[in-house]
Amino acid sequence: DAGVTQSPTHLIKTRGQQVTLRCSPKSGHDTVSWYQQALGQGPQFIFQYYEEEERQRGNFPDRFSGHQFPNYSSELNVNALLLGDSALYLCASSLRQTKYFGPGTRLTVL
Amino acid sequence: SQELEQSPQSLIVQEGKNLTINCTSSKTLYGLYWYKQKYGEGLIFLMMLQKGGEEKSHEKITAKLDEKKQQSSLHITASQPSHAGIYLCGADTTNAGKSTFGDGTTLTVKP
């Protein structure tokens, strides 16, 4: 079992650009959640996908959008990047309650 | 305001010593999780607690949940350098699985 995988591991973008991050859930997991973790802070919930629908959303602007595919994998898209979007982006998958996290994508916005 | 407060923010202990990390929620808990994170890496699931009074152990790590006080504690016995890292508590504060996290406790274990 490969666990939760994320790509890419690192990414550098400039302000105003758009970025797409990818997540493959743990085998058998149907729910994917995305989190943003700034340095020195805990992860902040962005949104959760289940059955290809956004089920819950945290306090993030519409620049943050996502998608879940029929195979349960997911993408996080961020438009019009700001310097403040620099963070570790974590994906977590779950079947029932317990969430298992991927290694994260480190996004740097210059 | 922060929904989950962790204390202490950081902890330095000598190898072999016991330690406790606390997590207090300002909202009703539907599930409480403990994770460990190495700097800049993903979160490693340690334990999940759901019922008041529940206590779980894994190797030298024990976690307890006090549902009435909306608190959880993580206790490490006879700490080792391999225990070093950032310990995060997370909680489901809705029954639909939205999790919030504390800001973490950074543990350093001196050999």
Rounded to a whole number of angstroms, the distance from the CA of B47 to the nearest CA of chain A is: 9
Token representation of residue A110: 């210059």
Q: For residue A65, give Cα distances in angstroms to A34, A61, B64, B82.
A: 10, 9, 37, 38
Test A56 with B96 for CB contact under 8 angstroms.
yes
Tokens 């019922």 -> residue: B51
- Confidence band for A98, pLDDT divided at 50, 70 and 90: confident
| Residue A102 contacts B, CB cutoff 8 Å | yes
Percentage of chain B with pLDDT > 90? 67
Hey, how many other C-beta atoms are within 10 angstroms of the C-beta on A50? 17
Residue A83, classed as helix, strand or coil, is helix
Confidence label for B96 from pLDDT (cuts 50, 70 and 90): low
B32-79 per-position pLDDT tens digit: 899 999 988 899 999 999 877 789 998 899 999 988 888 999 999 999
Q: How far is B108 from chain A (nearest CA, A)?
A: 15
Q: What is the mean pLDDT of residues A73-85?
A: 98
* Of B31, B40, B98, Cβ closest to residue A45: B98
Average pLDDT over residues A66-93: 97
Which tens digits make up the pLDDT trace of A20-42?
Answer: 999 999 998 999 999 999 998 99
Separation of alpha carbons A60 and A58, rounded Å: 6
| pLDDT for the residue numbered B1 | 53
B44 near A CB under 8 A: yes
Q: A101 and B35: CB-CB below 8 Å? A: yes
| pLDDT recorded at residue A105 | 97
Q: Torsion-angle region of residue B78: left (phi > 0), alpha (psi -120 to 50) or beta?
A: left
